[in-house]
Amino acid sequence: MSKRVTIYGGSGFVGRYIARRMAKEGWRVRVAVRRPNEAMFVRPYGVVGQVEPVLCNIRDDASVAQAMAGADAVVNCVGILSGNGKNSFDAVQADGAARVARLAAEAGVGQLVHISAIGADPESDSDYARTKGEGEAAVLGAFPNAVILRPSIIFGPEDGFFNRFAAMSRMGPILPVVGAETRFQPVYVDDVAKAAVMGIKGEAAPGVYELGGPDVGTFRDLMEKMLEVIQRRKLVLNIPFPVARLMGFGFDLLETMTLGLVSNGVITRDQVRNLRHDNVVSEGTKSFGELGISPTSFESVLPEYLWPYRPSGQYAAIKNSAKNLRAR
């Protein structure tokens, strides 16, 4: 009988890549999500019945335990960029992570992989980073042999980073960013999935791995490279942190006053705190090298999925070619 893995948040950006790879490995894959009807796209990753979305609320013991029943391995990909209502940072990233690890240990699950983030620190002034750090501590406390992956900013076709700023570049001559000099080390989503698969199969030693790509650049550097790819000329304008904090306060207040009807999808105060810190792999930590994985450069992948943001979209290459012909 084939082995089974339960992936919490398995229909999300990272989770779907892990699910696809585990299906190719021949495992039965249970994708635990809040809205199974919106995760049906994962089913074709394997043969009929191999990959199944199931209902799960990570804030509830019974729901989490039911989703992992009979699993040989568990992966927790659940994370949020901003807290909202009952799905607060503490409830999801600290308590939720602790719940998955505790129940996995009680159920005798063989392997646990937890997706965290670079900068996770229980002492951080950012709720995002603090709860990521508390979640890691809880995971290791309940499941000492867990594999914890801390990626830098993750890129790929469905990312919310390059896609978001590429879409913003369509409006006006300026591309505003907060923390233009903050450094990032973009990591390809499928490379993170490869690392997770090694953890699931017991091919990675327990411990914490910080995952970053081969390129390190400032926020401004990344935006300028992105603008090159989408063939747009914009001024990358840095918003000073004091101004950004005021903006975050205003948008957070608006969300609170409207009881969440107006969601803050622009910038939160917590995101501003995070952007003050570099997001790169620390010296002396385990990384892709220990896993035998050669990370993918973001410059080699961005053109594959950002072309819709070019002024001429899919016809950009044809138009450029025609210009070269006229020039001759």
Can you give the pLDDT at residue 277?
A: 95
Which residue would you say has higher pLDDT here, 258 or 16? 16
Residue in this structure with the two tokens 């076709």, named with its chain if needed: 157
pLDDT range class, residue 317, cuts 50, 70, 90: low
Residues 6+ apart with CB under 8 A from 183: 216, 217, 218, 219, 278, 279, 280
**Tens of pLDDT, residues 10-41:** 999 999 999 999 999 999 999 999 999 999 99
Report the C-alpha gap between 181 and 236 in whole angstroms.
11
Structure tokens at 49: 């019945």
User: Quick check: 328 pLDDT over 60?
Assistant: no
Can you give the pLDDT at residue 321?
A: 62
Quick one: three-class SS letters along the chain? CCCEEEEECCCCCCHHHHHHHHHHCCCEEEEEECCHHHHHHHHHHCCCCCEEEEECCCCCHHHHHHHHCCCCEEEECCCCCCCECCECHHHHHHHHHHHHHHHHHHHCCCEEEEECCCCCCCCCCCHHHHHHHHHHHHHHHHCCCCEEEEECCEECCCCCCHHHHHHHCCCCCEEEEECCCCEECCEEHHHHHHHHHHHHCCCCCCEEEEECCCCCEEHHHHHHHHHHHCCCCCEEEEECHHHHHHHHHHHHHHHHHCCCCCCCCCCCHHHHHHCCCCECCCCCCECHHHHCCCCCCHHHHHHHHHHHHCCCHHHHHHHHHHHHHHHC
- Please check whether residue 54 is in contact with residue 31, taking contact to mean a CB–CB distance below 8 angstroms: yes
Q: Is domain 4-158+186-214+279-295 classified as CATH 3.40.50.720?
A: yes
Can you give the pLDDT at residue 2?
A: 86
Q: Report pTM.
A: 0.93
User: Quick check: 218 pLDDT over 60?
Assistant: yes
Can you give the pLDDT at residue 85?
A: 80
CA distances from 258 to 156, 222, 252, 253 (A): 33, 34, 10, 9
